[in-house]
Structure formats: structure tokens, C-alpha cells
Amino acid sequence: LIMISKYANFLKSLDTSTESRLSPVKVLFEPYSPALLQVILWARAKEGLINEVDGAVIHRIAAEVGMTTGDARKAISILGHAATLAEMDPSDSLTEAHSQRAIDIVEANELLHEVLAAPWHARVFTLAIATFGDGGTTMGGAYKKYVELCNLVGWKPRSYRCIAGIVNQNRDKFIMAER
């Protein structure tokens, strides 16, 4: 049986009897470097794009993805979105402006997916943080806003300690949301 997950802690979500029965062997795949991502993106661009591709576009996408996740699927998705934007423009070539808009679209979709996958109270807390805008807030300020939002919809708010636990478990996601 072969199981593939992009989450390193996937096995911890299984009960111990299931995990021991599987006798797992972990194989970790290293993220792609920006240079390898460029090779992959050039191959995809030559295979499937009608428009001319500016070399700076490939470099920008590879650098952005290579420095964050190293995920080739994400890089290819961004290239595909950029190509769609160029076709809608209509433009004879993919430009850096297309690639930047595509990066923004893919990152917004990823953030939206993370929020929608979160438990309800984590979503409400995320909304509470978002209401502060670029000025930011403290954990206490965000918790007060969260309590207000829960009261507004008639929910019993979770304790400060519970919400702090959610934030600590998902710290990387909350930091990503700050960008």
C-alpha cells in the first residue's frame, strides 16, 4: 500500500492501531529549487502555450514558488493562470504583469481553501483578525472581536485558551494571512 500526503504529520491523525498496522516508511521529497522549477516551466511553456513567453515570467514564477514551497504543481498552476490572463487580455505574449496577477490569484485561492477547511470557530477568529485591516491587532484585541462576532450570531465563544491553541497549531497559516 502506498500513501502519499503533502502533510508530514498525516500519520498522527490516524489512531495508533492503524498506524502500527501500516508499518509506515516515510519518504520525504525535497522541494524543487528555483532553477529546477525554471526547467519544468520552460518545458510546460513549450508544450502547451500558444503565446510567446517572456523569460522574466518564468524566472519570476520559479523564484516565487522556489523560495516559498518548491511545489512544481503550484508553479505550473501559476503559469496556466498567467496564460489564461494573457489570452483574455488579449496579448501576444505573457508578461510579468500577467504572472504577478496569476501569483496573487493562486495565493488568494490557497488562503481561501485554508480558511474554508478550518473549523467554524477558527473561521470566525480569522474574520475577527481581518476586521482590523492592515493596522493589525493583539491576540487580546482579536479575541474580543471574536467574542463579539460569536455573540452576534448566537454562538457560545470558545475560551481564550482554546482559541490561542488554534492559533498556535496554525501559526504558519495566520502568518501567511498577514501578507
Task: Please tell me the pTM assigned to this model.
Answer: 0.65
What pLDDT, on the 0 to 100 scale, is given for residue 92? 78
Nearest one of 179, 175, 167 to 119, comparing CA atoms: 167
Q: How far apart are CA 105 and CA 129, in angstroms?
A: 21
The rounded distance, in Å, linking the Cα atoms of 98 and 141 is 38
The 10s digit of each residue's pLDDT in 62-98 is 999 999 889 999 999 999 999 889 888 877 788 899 9
Say if residue 11's pLDDT is above 80: no
Which range (6-10, 139-143, 152-156, 159-163) has the least confidence?
6-10
Per-residue cell: 6 = 503533502
| Main-chain phi, psi angles of 132, to 5 degrees | -85, -15
Q: Which of 96, 6, 135 is nearest to 79 (CA)?
A: 96
Question: Residue 25: CB partners within 8 Å, gap ≥ 6?
Answer: none
Measured between alpha carbons, how far is 7 from 9 in angstroms, rounded to an integer?
A: 6
Taking residues 116-141, what's their average pLDDT?
A: 83
pLDDT tens readout for residues 13-72 = 778 787 778 877 777 778 999 999 999 999 998 887 766 788 899 999 999 999 988 999
Question: What's the chain's average pLDDT?
Answer: 84
Write down the pLDDT at residue 179: 44
End-to-end CA distance of the chain: 39
- Mean local confidence (pLDDT), 99-122: 87
Q: What percent of the chain has pLDDT over 90?
A: 37
Give the mean pLDDT of 142-153: 92
Residue type, 88: M
Q: Which residues are CB-neighbours of 154 under 8 A, at least 6 positions away?
A: none
The answer, yes or no, to whether residue 151 has pLDDT greater than 90, is: yes
pLDDT bucket at 177, cuts 50 / 70 / 90: very low
Angle at 172 between CA 177 and CA 28, to 5 degrees: 130
| Higher per-residue pLDDT: 136 or 57 | 57
C-beta separation of 66 from 46 below 8 A: no
| Centroid of chain to Cα 84 | 20
